[in-house]
Every structure is written in C-alpha cells, then in structure tokens.
Structure 1
Amino acid sequence: MTGENAPAWAREATERLGHWVSTLDVREVDDAVLERLGLVLLDTVGVTALGAALDEHRALRAAWDPPPGPAPLVGAGRCTTVDAAAWLNATALVSLELDEGNKYAKGHPAAHGFPAVLALAAQRDSSGADTAAALLAAYEVAARFGRATRLAPGAHPHGSWGVTGAAAGCARLLGLGPRECAAAIDTAAGMPIAGHFDSALDGNVVRDAWIGASNTSGLAAARLAAAGVARNTGTAALSLGTLLGEFDADELTADLAETWQLTRGYLKRHASCSFTHPAADAVLQLRAHGEIHDVRVEIHVLGAGLARTEWDNRLSAMFSIPFVVAVAALTGEVGPAAYAPEALTDERVRALARRVRVVAADDLTARLPDERAVRVTARYADGTSHTVEVPNPIGDADHHPLTEDDVVALLAAWLPERSPVPEHAVRLAHDLPALPRTGEALRALAGDEEVPECVPSR
C-alpha cells in the first residue's frame, strides 16, 4: 500500500490493533490457542537457556556486568534489570537458530517480544492472565506486521517489523488504554533496524543483536506511550513501507481475533536457519539408502542464496545449506553439537559440502508462502540416486508439528543433565494463565535454586 494516503490507512489500522491489544482477555481465548502459547513459551525458555550456556554468552554477561534486579537471565543463574534481561535473553534465544518462527510472518515473532514481556512481568509481578495476554499480543502484533511488510531484497527480518510486537506486549502489561497501545505500536514501527541478510551469511553476530534491540526498543516505545508523549501517525507506512520495503496496512487487522497467527508457526529440531530444515529432513531420509557422494538441492528462491560452501563460525554455518546437508548426511542430526569447533573444521563435512549444489526452482517458489518445499536428489557411492521432496520442515504447524513431549525430549538431550530450567518452564507453560502472580515463577527460570528472591518494583 503506497501513496500519500498510506500513513492514514496505517494509522487507522494501528488504532484498531491498539484497541484489540488493550482489551485482550485470556478468559475469552480458546484453550487450543492457550495450549499453543504454552508450547511456544516452553520452547522459548528452553532455547534461551541453551544459548545462555554458550561460551560467548558467558563472556558477554561478564563484559556487560549487569546489576542485580528483578528479572531472570534465563539459564544463567542470576537476576538483573528489565532492560538488561530483555536484551541478553533475546540474543541468547536466537544464537542457536532454534527459536520458533512463522512462515507467514516471514520471521520470528516470539523472539521479537517475549523476552521483553517476561522481564517486565517479573519486575511487576504481574498476574498470569495479564502476562499471557501480553505474550499473545506480542506475538499476534509482530506476526501481523510481518505479514504486512514485504522487505526490500537483501533485508533481514530481525529487528524490523517485530519491534511492534514487543511494544504491544509491554503496553498490554502496563495496562495502557486503546489509544496508548496504538501509540506504542506505531512508535515501535518507527524504530526498526535495517539489517542486511548477508550479515548472517557472513557470520556477523550483529544479526543476534538486532533481536536484543527489538525487545529493548519495544520496551522504550511502551514507556513513551505510558508517559503520554507517543503518538499514532501511521509511521509504519513510511519506515517499513517507503524506506525498508512495502507495507499493506490491511494485513494488520484482517481476521483479527478470528485467526491466531500463533497457531500457524513452526518449532525447530535442527539448529540452523529454517530454510535449511526441509533439505536436512530429506537428507535424513536419503542417508538410509547408502553412503551419499553428492547432493542436489532444489529450493524456493528465498532459500537459494544459502549456498555457500565455506564458513568460519557457527552463525555462517547455520546459514549454509551445504553445511547442514553434509552434517545431516554424515551424522544423522543437526543439533548444537554440530557447531563445536572441531565439527566446524571437520574435513569430511567440508568435502561433502563442496559436493552439494543448491539451485532455485520456479515450481517450488510458486508454492510459497504455504509451503517452503525442497526437492533433494542424492547420488551414492555406487552410482545410484534417489530423490525426496519435502513440502515443509518437520515442526511446521502444517507438517508433523512438534508436541510438548518432543520439545522436552530435545531440550533434555541438549541441556546439561541436571538443568532445572525445563521443569520450571513446563510448569510455567501449564500454569501461566491461572497464576495470581508471576514474579517467583519467572525468576525460577534463571535455573539456579540459590538465586536470591528479588523484590519486584511496581
């Protein structure tokens, strides 16, 4: 939607969205939606703890030296201030490419706002009902802005349209009215980051920092609205539209409260970019036929650029289809251990990756966005070949969705054996809407039974 009327249309749509956010009541939400929220919350918390255990995140926390506060650093054994927790938890969440995503939003709605909402809820000791409503608002608003935004070629979705979700969730948690919620969302739409997709391919962890910035910018936007200084002018049509791509404001409110974007997402079983997952799933089937010599991956245009056969760190490897395919073929899984230093330099993986060819296929591109399909052909050492076509990655809501048991099993395999985080996360996921207060339950996610109780500030 372009033209001189675009900001007015965006302002009106954001106004309707702000009213929906301010009046969202989990008592009126279907049980199936709340169950999905619990599953996404469980996955988000567990994956954040995985990221927090990485050496670089230990180093980052040491360099940051955050002060004590009421909000948990998930899996890190301590509590800190709201803003520090939102930023550090957000970057840990996305560092292993295991966080939930949504193909219709074209990115990761939960990561853009859940860390900010959870940190603020811990500070305020909010009720479970309000916290659940805020998480729903964060996801739905971010996903709708993702649907509404068509980023310019080369733009990465982290830190752009998703800032609006963090603002919506935090505004709902602060109890703001319709006008103020709309103002917070619109203000956030004027705070996007213009990140290039090649930063991820190059292995630059600024790509993770964009998610941290999204959460803290959303907090700032909600506070501006709470202070009465934010306005709704339809700025998304200018920032997300005119500058960063194209923007269709109608997508913000289409089927609002009837179709929940949360139920259309995907959970991950591979630690890699979602565009690599269908290829990995296909190769896991193909390896049963024998020793794979070379691979041809036909894929939609969105994934065709992930064809690099060289990498020098975990992030660049996670965005390489040849790397992911080679690891899947040789080891039978693509978990966090695939990115250990010795694994990244494994000459067997490098040799096979150089024999993986990635090509764009028009017929597969035509199936977007409902399918992110691949067609993979493996040629074996004996000269035979087999082909497997996969419509979506396993874990997609439309294709073998993961259950709570699946997520718990994955976390148990990846987290330290004695980590208390999964148990606390499962309990929170089940109990959240009914909790009278959330502060204690959220601070338990720090994962250390010796974390001192923090007094929330209201």
Structure 2
Amino acid sequence: MDSALEAPDLAPLVSSATELKLDEVPQDVLDHAVRVFADTVGVAIGGAKRPEIAAYVEGAGGLFGPLARGGASLLVPGFPGAEPADAAFVNATAGTFLDLDEGCRPTGHPAMHVVPAALAAAQALHATGRELIAAVLGGYEVTARLFEAYKLTYPLHPHGHFGAVGAAVAVARLAGVDPVEPAAVAATLPLLPVWQPCFEGATARNAYTGRAASLGLDANRMAASGFTGSREAQREAFGGLVGALSRPEALDAPLDPDRLRITRNYMKLHSACALSHSALDAVFALGPLPVEEVSRVEVETVSNNLKISRQARPNDLSTRFSTQYAVAAAMIHGHARPEAFEPDERVAELAGRVEVRAAEDLEDSWPDAAPARVTVHTPSGVLTERVENPHGHHSDPARPDELRAKFEALVGGEDPGVLHDRLLGVAEVGDVAELFEGAA
C-alpha cells in the first residue's frame, strides 16, 4: 500500500483537540500558552508597522480601497476593526516580517498561523479569554503534530499548510462546531510554498502565514455552507508529493494535558531564521570581537541548518535567511534585533569571510538539539564557542522579563507594558472583543 495512504485519519486528533478541557491543563502549561499568545501578538504588532501592511489596510487606490470594517482587531496603530478573515490575514502576515515568531521542531511556526485566526474568531464571537486560549492550545497541538508526522521535502517551506488545519480547528472550537469538516476543507486547500522567496527577499512570502490563518476562517465558512473536504488530499500531498510520512504515531497518540506540544516550543530572541540562532548565541558567548582583525569565521552545525547557508541579497528579508549575514551582523552590531538586518556593506563584507558547513559530530543531536560551533580566526589566535540550543528553546527558556522587553521594544509607544499585562491576563477577560479597547 502507498505509505501516503497509511496515515491515521485526522478526525480523532482534531476532535480530541477541540474537546480538550482547560480545567485539566496544568497551570504552568496554561501560563506558557498565554505567554505564547502575548508574544505572538507583540510580534505581529511590530511587523504591522511595515509600510506594506499600512498600504494593504488603508487601500492602494483604484480597485483596492480600505479594508471593510468588522468585529476583529487589526494589530496596526489604533487597532481598527476588520472582517475576521481580513484581520487574520493581515495580522499573520505582519507577524512574519521580522522573523521573531515562535516555533517548534522538527520545523514549523504554529502560533503565527493559529493565534491570528483564533483571535479574529474569538473577537467576532465575543468569546471569553479562556475560550480563546483553549482554542489556541487545540489548534497548536494539531499543527505541531502534523509537523512531527510528515517530513517535508526541500525546498518546501513550513508555512502555509499544516498551520491552516490548526487554524481551522481553533476556529471550529470557538464556533462550537464539529472540527472535522473544516479541518478537511483546510487540508484540501494548502499552499505549497518554497524557500526561494526568503532568499531573494520577495516579501509576498510573508503572506504564507496570512493565507493559512485566513483559510482557517474560510474553511469553517465553506464547511458551514456545505462544501466538503478531502480525507486523502493531505496524505497524498505531504506523504508522497512533497514529503514523507515519517512518524504516523504523532497523529494518533492521545492528547496529554501535561505534555501539550506548545510546551516544547522555542521563543525567538533574534530577528532571523531560527536555523541561525545557535550560531548567533555562540557569537555572543565569545564576547566582543576585533572584527577588523578577523580573517575567517567557521560555523559548524547540523545539515538541517544548511538551508540558509548562503550570501544575502541587499534587503532585510534575505539578510534574515543567511547564516553568513546573521553571524556577521551579530559580530558587528553586538545584537540581532530587527535593525541589525538592514542591509549594511560592512556586514556583507564580513559575511563573505564566514564559512558554514555540517559537522558529523553534531549531526546526531538533531532535532532535540540544534548545535552550532563558531570558530573565529584572528592574527592573535583562534576563539571557539559551541551552543547546543539557542536561549529561548524550551531546554533553556526565555525569562518573562526578556519576553516583556521584546514585546515592549516591538510595540513601542508610551507604555507598552500596559498592553503586555492585559494580554498576559487574557484568561480573565470576559469578552475578547474588548481586549484592545483603549490601547494606543
């Protein structure tokens, strides 16, 4: 039998995800889910400052006027309302501009697909904060398990497909409907995105997550209208055409409220593709370096991370998807905040002296660890540092004060901490439609 057709039926997984009882979720897991929610919103607010997002919301003229108003908040200045599918699209698209959204291994970024869809639906439905977080937990679980089950064939990118299924499940839970048909509809309509736009700097790539988040809502509308989804399309696409079913047990293992996948995620503290983060932490561990004296930099890592071993083009998307550029930027600027990835000739010149390769002694660590060893050569000597996992990975989690500082830097304004506190208190909110009322 074709292995693509041996995958377990998704119905039990999506059903159990929507039946998850929040009262059975340990407080530490719930607290972490809320932190993921707040972080995801903050990252989207930061990305929504880009001119492309403002132009899309306000209208580009001619055929394209302003977005229609509705009951879901756009995470742009003033938090205006929009139709739920539009809000999900804009917010999830904005959320990938700075490449600071959380993720999981072996690949994928569930929250930036699921949270914008769930937030839009929850606001439109006047759901409680607890209902919203329960939906996020369920949608995240489905998405992360799909990423565990299927091994994607390069150059397929992890955005835009499994996350849409998780988004559909989250919306279905909030709407109080059977999630199986919406999930099947979403699984029938995946994007098949590739990595190349990241390397070129084609910013339409940032809409991979936006399309998936909006599909989470559209799939529910289609299912409610009588459309039916395929039970086999996802298996054929990702279990044969563009991937392989490597861990089918991830799809049928019972949900354990104590060990939900969201607890095994990573939170990003560097504004770049996650595949470079261990190398960046190794650079920072070396301390200040005499950059002008550096003759060569060696980065050794696992083969999975070689996807982004390349010299960047002069734009701030391509620079985020180049280990060479990211390492050089960290050495020159001493940080990896968003502004470090603005094209800089000094950084590009140093990046030309950065060599990246896979190391056999590191390979077996993946995906539990993503080690990187950075060796810097100067006339006065050789410096080496190795990092197993970047800070922010669940094995070395980001501290609450670090996540707060990240949020405040992204949101800006007079007192962004007030909004951060409000988001961290979302589980106590009686009507999510009021979440951004009065926020600057």
What TM bracket, shorter-length normalisation?
Answer: over 0.9
Displacement after TM superposition at 1:122 (Å) = 0.8
Task: Say whether 1:385 aligns with 2:382.
Answer: yes
Contact 1:17 / 1:182 at 8 angstroms: preserved in 2?
no
Displacement after TM superposition at 1:289 (Å) = 5.4
Contact 1:72 / 1:80 at 8 angstroms: preserved in 2?
yes
Alignment RMSD, CA only? 1.9
Which has the bigger relative contact order, CA under 8 A and spacing at least 6? Answer: 1
Distance 1:403 1:93 in 2: 21
Distance 1:327 1:187 in 2: 43
Contact 2:330 / 2:340 at 8 angstroms: preserved in 1?
no
**Letter of the 1:390 counterpart:** V
Aligned to 2:26: 30
Going from structure 1 to structure 2, the CA distance change for 1:29 and 1:239 (only over 3 Å counts) comes to: same
**Letter of the 2:298 counterpart:** R
Contact 1:10 / 1:234 at 8 angstroms: preserved in 2?
no
Q: SS of the residue aligned with 2:384?
A: strand
Distance 1:130 1:141 in 2: 17
Distance 2:412 2:3 in 1: 55
Q: Structure 1: state its 5+ residue gaps.
A: 449-458
Aligned to 2:311: 309
Aligned to 2:215: 217
Task: Say whether 1:429 aligns with 2:424.
Answer: yes
Equivalent positions of 1:431-450 (< 5 A) are 432-441=426-435, 443-444=436-437, 447-448=439-440
Task: Say whether 1:49 aligns with 2:51.
Answer: no
**Letter of the 2:46 counterpart:** L
Distance 1:83 1:268 in 2: 26
Deviations 1:268-310 (A, max 9, x none): 1110000111111111122435446121001111212322223
Deviations 1:147-178 (A, max 9, x none): 111111211111122211101101111101xx
Displacement after TM superposition at 1:414 (Å) = 3.9
Q: Structure 2: state its 5+ residue gaps.
A: none
Task: Say whether 1:395 aligns with 2:395.
Answer: no
Distance 1:440 1:73 in 2: 13
Displacement after TM superposition at 1:20 (Å) = 0.8
Aligned to 1:144: 145
Number of positions where the alignment pairs a residue of Structure 1 with one of Structure 2:
430
Deviations 1:368-398 (A, max 9, x none): 1101111110112x33011111101111001
Displacement after TM superposition at 1:314 (Å) = 0.8
Distance 2:346 2:54 in 1: 30
Contact 1:182 / 1:232 at 8 angstroms: preserved in 2?
no
Going from structure 1 to structure 2, the CA distance change for 1:238 and 1:404 (only over 3 Å counts) comes to: same
Aligned to 2:136: 135
Deviations 1:217-263 (A, max 9, x none): 12122223334543562432112212221134321132422521000
Contact 2:4 / 2:240 at 8 angstroms: preserved in 1?
no
Aligned to 1:158: 159
Distance 2:182 2:6 in 1: 17
Aligned to 2:111: 110
Deviations 1:116-149 (A, max 9, x none): 1101111111122221111111111111111111
Equivalent positions of 1:344-423 (< 5 A) are 344=343, 346-380=344-378, 382-399=379-396, 401-418=397-414, 420=416, 422-423=417-418
Query: TM-score when scaled to structure 1?
Result: 0.89
Aligned to 1:456: none
Going from structure 1 to structure 2, the CA distance change for 1:261 and 1:4 (only over 3 Å counts) comes to: same
Going from structure 1 to structure 2, the CA distance change for 1:289 and 1:316 (only over 3 Å counts) comes to: closer
Contact 1:149 / 1:161 at 8 angstroms: preserved in 2?
no
Equivalent positions of 1:9-408 (< 5 A) are 9-11=7-9, 14-62=10-58, 63=60, 65-77=66-78, 78-104=80-106, 106-176=107-177, 180-231=178-229, 233-247=231-245, 248-258=247-257, 259-288=259-288, 290-291=290-291, 293=294, 294-340=296-342, 344=343, 346-380=344-378, 382-399=379-396, 401-408=397-404
Query: TM-score when scaled to structure 2?
Result: 0.92
Q: SS of the residue aligned with 1:156?
A: coil
Distance 2:52 2:105 in 1: 29
Going from structure 1 to structure 2, the CA distance change for 1:47 and 1:354 (only over 3 Å counts) comes to: same
Q: SS of the residue aligned with 2:317?
A: helix
Going from structure 1 to structure 2, the CA distance change for 1:25 and 1:338 (only over 3 Å counts) comes to: same
The answer to which of 251-260 and 349-358 deviates more is: 251-260
The answer to which of 348-357 and 284-293 deviates more is: 284-293
Q: SS of the residue aligned with 1:296?
A: strand
Contact 1:279 / 1:325 at 8 angstroms: preserved in 2?
yes
Identity of aligned residues (%): 33
Going from structure 1 to structure 2, the CA distance change for 1:129 and 1:412 (only over 3 Å counts) comes to: closer
Distance 1:91 1:419 in 2: 25
Distance 2:249 2:406 in 1: 38
The answer to which of 70-79 and 323-332 deviates more is: 70-79
Q: SS of the residue aligned with 2:299?
A: strand
Contact 2:283 / 2:331 at 8 angstroms: preserved in 1?
yes
